[in-house]
Structure 1
Amino acid sequence: MAVHTLENDRLAITIDDHGAELSRIFDKKNNRDVLWEADPKFWKRHAPILFPNVGRHYEANYRYKGVTYPSQAHGFARDTDFTLFSETETSVTHRITSTPETKKGYPFDFVLTVTQTLKGNEIQVEWDVENTGDDVMYFTIGGHPAFKVPALPGTKYSDYKLLFHTEKDPVYFLIDQKYGTILADQSRVLPLENGSAQLTDHMFDNDALVFDHQIDWAGIGYPDGTPYVSLSCPGFTSFGIWAAKGAPFVCLEPWLGRADNYGFTGDLSEKPDINRLEAHKTFHAQYTITIH
């Protein structure tokens, strides 16, 4: 599959046809790669697109109209070869459509279009989900970009900070280790000091920190607290922050919908924060990565 490059005076980025995945962000100003290089020793991906489900369904299946369907973590889009739809000097657009194979596990007709645009020191990621069927469609969708930490020579992972634009200490949930679902009855608070929380070597020992209805901007800060990279996602319902154990990266994950709550066995249409799309309508969302 092909890789497409966009470049300006500040950044050079590459986007892969496989998964329509952003696979490199090179910061020309600071002469360094910002996006995680997908070393399989820790995690083999850069910035996968999560669709038609973010995270996992309880017991790896879900129910819709009385039928039980198998599911895989984060859906199938990230492992699908997309078709290049259009390419300009500043943007690349990819597309996939439903097939008889996808309908075995996801019984909806759809077109997913992903457009990634380079603007100065920003990468804008847009999703358009079109319901091409005659019934209401249900889905969740999310981003999962991973950024290299540490970024500066002579610094270590725990020198860096998580940054937030919130006046209150955010509340988060952990993930059940057996089923990969959300322990929604066990909330915790992330204490902030001047809008930031220090990264620690063991912050993600129990998997991701999952925030609901609180975060529309988050970043990673240098040791002095100034932003290194940030992600803006107004209107998104959930946000995940994660790193593999011992790995030199942090994922900032904007989600519209998320993994099931632990024990959820209701119909897909009853899932909290599920996206409901009427027949022959299109859902649009976007988020922006900024390299500071």
Structure 2
Amino acid sequence: MDIKITNGTLTATINPQGAELNSLKDTNNEYIWEGNAKFWGKHSPILFPIVGTLKNNSYLYNGQVHALTRHGFARDNAFSVKTQADDSVAFTLSDSSDTLKVYPFKFELELTYTLKDKTLYLDYTVTNKGEAAMPFSLGAHPAFALPENFSNYSLEFEKAEPLVSTQLKNDLLSDKTVTLPAEGGVLPLSYELFENDALIFKQLESKSVTINKNNQGYIKVSFADFPHLGIWTKQDAPFLCIEPWQGFSDPESTFGNLIEKQGIVLLEAGKQYKAGFSVQII
């Protein structure tokens, strides 16, 4: 059963299956993509313990090959409710016999949703419950509903910087980049931007990006704890994903060693990793 939280201004609905945010709305608008499978049947999946695609959908650890599909398994598993209040809820996912088959590490992943004023805060805690260092990546994949003509929207980055996107090839990172046509940190949206799949920013000075509608602020995503950012949609789809990432797809040249993977976090035994981002309705 979906869980609703509200603070009187915003209401969020979360499905314990994947602890996925299905809805964020005020009295006038729904801000999360409806999940129409014609375009993309998800809303806001959690990416863990990898972000993106592994070469050959597998990795090496301690000399053994393990299979792990795109974006990992957290989005496909049922989370438990840890705590719940009117305006917040915390979910947890722990290792199981199934996860240990593809990811041989004992962990706990906690995700807390909190509403405050016109902002939804999403806070993650990863705990290494094992006795060895645990390599992982973590990411978010919220899809925001854009019901008007796609060209009515633009992205405004916190800083006016060159927007250099690393291109994908067969779902892996290539060695090619493209500099996007932004002026003053503002990138007009068009489907042509996504002809080669997602935009991937491995390095950004900006720690927030705002979706503008008709040149006015609409939704602001702040991601100070995440060093990388993905942005994605599909042709003619009325949504845009803004994806704070710690990690990204393998490069084409990878040898597949998970410990040495670019963007990986290596968490010591018994330690915790915390990160969060926010979605502000303007």
C-alpha contact (below 8 Å) 2:122/2:276 kept by paired residues = yes
- Taking the TM superposition and a 5 Å limit, the aligned residue runs for 1:77-156 are 77-150=74-147, 155-156=148-149
RMSD: 1.1
* Larger strand proportion of the pair: 2
CA shift, 1:266, in A, is 3.9
C-alpha contact (below 8 Å) 1:213/1:236 kept by paired residues = no
CA shift, 1:194, in A, is 2.6
Alignment partner for residue 251 of structure 2, among 261, 282, 286? 261
CA shift, 1:235, in A, is 3.2
1:171 aligned residue: 164
1:25 aligned residue: 24
C-alpha contact (below 8 Å) 2:232/2:241 kept by paired residues = yes
Instruction: Give, in whole Å, the separation in 2 of the partners of 1:211 and 1:190.
Output: 11
Alignment partner for residue 236 of structure 1, among 226, 238, 248? 226
Structure 2 length-normalised TM: 0.97
Instruction: Give, in whole Å, the separation in 2 of the partners of 1:53 and 1:219.
Output: 26
1:58 aligned residue: 55
C-alpha contact (below 8 Å) 2:7/2:86 kept by paired residues = no
CA shift, 1:213, in A, is 2.3
C-alpha contact (below 8 Å) 1:182/1:259 kept by paired residues = yes
Query: What are the Cα deviations for residues 94-125 of structure 1, in whole angstroms up to 9, with x where unaligned?
Result: 11110121011101000111101011111100
Q: Which amino acid aligns with 1:127?
A: Y
Query: What are the Cα deviations for residues 42-76 of structure 1, in whole angstroms up to 9, with x where unaligned?
Result: 11111110000111101111111111111111110
Instruction: Give, in whole Å, the separation in 2 of the partners of 1:285 and 1:67.
Output: 30
Alignment partner for residue 204 of structure 1, among 194, 218, 221? 194
Instruction: Give, in whole Å, the separation in 1 of the partners of 2:198 and 2:192.
Output: 11
Unaligned segments of structure 1, at least 5 residues: none
SS at match of 2:194: coil
1:14 aligned residue: 13
1:222 aligned residue: 213
CA shift, 1:287, in A, is 0.4
Q: Does structure 1 residue 182 correspond to structure 2 residue 179?
A: no
SS at match of 2:97: coil
Instruction: Give, in whole Å, the separation in 2 of the partners of 1:233 and 1:115.
Output: 15
- CA 1:106–1:140: 2 relative to 1, 3 Å: same
Give the % identical residues.
Answer: 36
C-alpha contact (below 8 Å) 1:160/1:221 kept by paired residues = yes
- Taking the TM superposition and a 5 Å limit, the aligned residue runs for 1:66-85 are 66-85=63-82
Instruction: Give, in whole Å, the separation in 2 of the partners of 1:54 and 1:26.
Output: 27
SS at match of 1:203: helix
Structure 1 length-normalised TM: 0.94
Instruction: Give, in whole Å, the separation in 2 of the partners of 1:266 and 1:204.
Output: 27
Count of paired positions: 281
Q: Which amino acid aligns with 2:112?
A: T
Query: What are the Cα deviations for residues 17-51 of structure 1, in whole angstroms up to 9, with x where unaligned?
Result: 110011101122xx111100001111111111000
Q: Which amino acid aligns with 1:15?
A: I
SS at match of 2:191: coil
Q: Which amino acid aligns with 1:197?
A: L
Query: What are the Cα deviations for residues 213-235 of structure 1, in whole angstroms up to 9, with x where unaligned?
Result: 20421121112x22111110113
Instruction: Give, in whole Å, the separation in 1 of the partners of 2:143 and 2:160.
Output: 26
